[in-house]
Amino acid sequence: MKQYNSLSDSEKKNLLNDLYVKQNMSFADIASQQGTYANKILRDAKKLGIAIRDKSAAQKNALKTGKHKHPTLGKERKQTTKDKIGLGVMKSWETLSDDELNERKQKAKTAWEELDIVTKENILQKANHAVRVASKQGSKLENFLLECLLSDGFKVDFHKEQILTNTKLQIDLFLPSINTAIEVDGPSHFEPVWGQDCLNKNISYDQKKQGLILGKGLVLIRIKQTKDYSKTRAKIIYSKLLEQVNNIKQKFPPSDQRIITIED
């Protein structure tokens, strides 16, 4: 076998196409095999027009081939550690500039448009199924708030119909001890996620429900969920909700102050 340094550019390109592109070997592994050093292989690959894997692809390849072990696979983090990580991720998103946010949205849009029709249909079917399940069993945020309220000793009626007489409209969470209804409004309640017609129906539905709730003398707390669910964000929402609930316990608000809005 000819030494690597004595190969022609054409021979080097064929070698790198075989080892790096087809066999997914790293530059370090190729260098070790060929008796040279990794930076030499990297420089030659760039010079010869070999597409270099980005950091993410290189990491995936190292995990796939078993060269590196996954840093967290099989390890159980403490909840406090998970909370810190979640809070850090949330803050990093909130500090993004408008340009950075728009860039990420555009990348997501481009990725969606590049999917084939079958994949898109499968994703949409799963999304529609999730919406139907959430309407019956509650969303992740609703269930999280339910668990927290019950843990704090509140009696909670979940997705209750009977309180709104002669209707099938459900209250997401109802606290009978303080006559308070809690509605969790996801993006489809204020954005045309499923089209403008669906948004108009949701707005009409919400207005009707709001009128019935206030008409029975109840307090209505509306939680506006504009972002995807995360446990870290859910805990922040619950702390805001608990503050409002405790205020109502101390002093039931007058009729003109019975709509309270919480945003995530």
What would the two tokens of residue 20 be? 């790096």
Kindly state whether residues 169 and 200 are assigned to the same domain: yes
Mean pLDDT across the stretch 195-216?
Answer: 87
Arithmetic mean of pLDDT over the chain: 83
Final residue of a structural domain among 18, 40, 64: 64
Domains in the chain, number: 3
The confidence score (pLDDT) of residue 142 equals 92
The confidence score (pLDDT) of residue 58 equals 66
Domain of 126, in residue numbers: 79-134
Confirm whether 72 is domain-assigned. Answer: no
Confirm whether 74 is domain-assigned. Answer: no
Measured CA to CA, the distance from residue 56 to residue 2 in angstroms comes to 33
List C-alpha distances in Å: 151 to 44, 45, 155: 62, 60, 10
Dihedral in degrees, nearest 10, Cα atoms 97, 98, 104, 110: -160
Mean pLDDT across the stretch 71-84?
Answer: 64
pTM to 2 decimals? 0.56
Measured CA to CA, the distance from residue 145 to residue 139 in angstroms comes to 10
pLDDT top residue among 162 and 218: 218
Residue 57 has pLDDT above 80, yes or no: no
Dihedral sign from CA coordinates of 214, 216, 219, 224: negative
Confirm whether 3 is domain-assigned. Answer: no
Q: Where residue 26 falls among pLDDT bands split at 50, 70, 90?
A: confident
Q: Give the residue among 77, 189, 89 at the shortest CA–CA distance from 141.
A: 189
Residue 178 has pLDDT above 90, yes or no: yes
Measured CA to CA, the distance from residue 136 to residue 134 in angstroms comes to 5
Q: Where residue 87 falls among pLDDT bands split at 50, 70, 90?
A: low
Mean pLDDT across the stretch 45-65?
Answer: 78
